Amino acid sequence: MGADSGQAVERVAVVGPGAIGTAVAAVLHEAGRTPVLCGRTPRADLTLVDGERRVVVPGPVHTDPGAPAETVDVLLLAVKATQTAAAAPWLRRLCGPGTVVGVLQNGVEQVAAVRPHVPPGVEVVPAVVWFPAQAQADGTVRLRGEPRLTLPEGPGAQRVAAALRGTRCRVDLAADFADLAWRKLLQNAAAGIMALTGRRAGVFTRPDVADLTRAYLRECLAVARAEGATLGDDTPEAVLGGFQAAPADMSTSILTDREAGRPLEWDIRNGVVSRLGRVHGVPTPIGDTLATLLAATSDGPG
């Protein structure tokens, strides 16, 4: 089933009902558009907690991509980047000729990473996810900000925006998407320090950690500019200030993954800075060190 940007999307799937996937599924359900839920763990429903609001999204979460399934208009891929290949059977099963895949993942290489796993003719649209959502020990997800996505301008992005129209998730279409994606990558790269220290946002109020973060972000900024981003000189200070102004107990997905013993998204958040730095001849000594330590933390041995 296809739908142009002026029509209501009839069928939406969320693949990867973790923290971000649950939040997006919840806002769709609130608007009367309960999505098809697909993931690795069978669940009867999903629960989002937002202050005093509690949204229960009816399932089930489907776990067998080999079972018969209809194709969808819009597929929102919310698995971690480390799980993209594992989600490929869902992409093949749920994508038809008119499907658009919106990638709700970190990084600046989303399209290149996902496109090999979708059928020919399926458009892949990258997104910047601006809101924090955290999985809780009881299986619920806590939303800690207003849901907001940014997509690049274009017909595919308009289809994704149409799928979320009327929900409380704000969707912006941006001509300067590459700048915004790199701005978010700087934030994600700095969050790697939280995974290495085992500390939450309060760690950035330490003067020594703040100095290290500032220097690292300047390396990241140089690489972003070499890639064509037009971020200002004040970007590193603004990113650091955002961490320092956050609640001291604010976590991040890469720290949550470390605490749970899961593989870390170190390559698409930190390794990419070193890789692209080498391509452009931009030195990244701090980034190289952090990426090596994060890789060892994630992958071992030991």
Closest C-alpha to 1, from 69, 73, 68? 73
Measured over the CA atoms of residue 150, residue 151, residue 153 and residue 156, the dihedral's sign is negative
What are the phi and psi torsion angles at 122 (to 5°)?
-85, 125
**Angle at 141 (CA atoms; ends 68, 199), nearest 5 degrees:** 125
* Separation between Cα atoms, residue 141 and residue 253, nearest integer Å: 12
Nearest to 129 by CA among 76, 74, 87: 76
Inter-residue contact 117 to 101 (CB < 8 Å): no
Gyration radius of the chain over CA positions: 19
Q: Does residue 115 sit in helix, strand or coil?
A: helix
- Asked whether the beta carbons of 154 and 174 are under 8 A apart, the reply is no
Could you tell me if 106 and 81 are in contact, meaning their C-beta atoms sit under 8 angstroms apart?
yes
What is the DSSP-derived secondary structure letter of residue 79? Answer: S
Partnered with residue 150 across adjacent β-strands are 128, 172
Whole-number Å distance between alpha carbons of 280 and 142: 40
Which residue in the list 80, 93, 159, 184 is annotated as catalytic?
A: 184
Q: Is 80 a catalytic residue?
A: no
Please give the Cα distance from 91 to 259 (Å, whole number): 29
Which residues are catalytically annotated?
A: 184
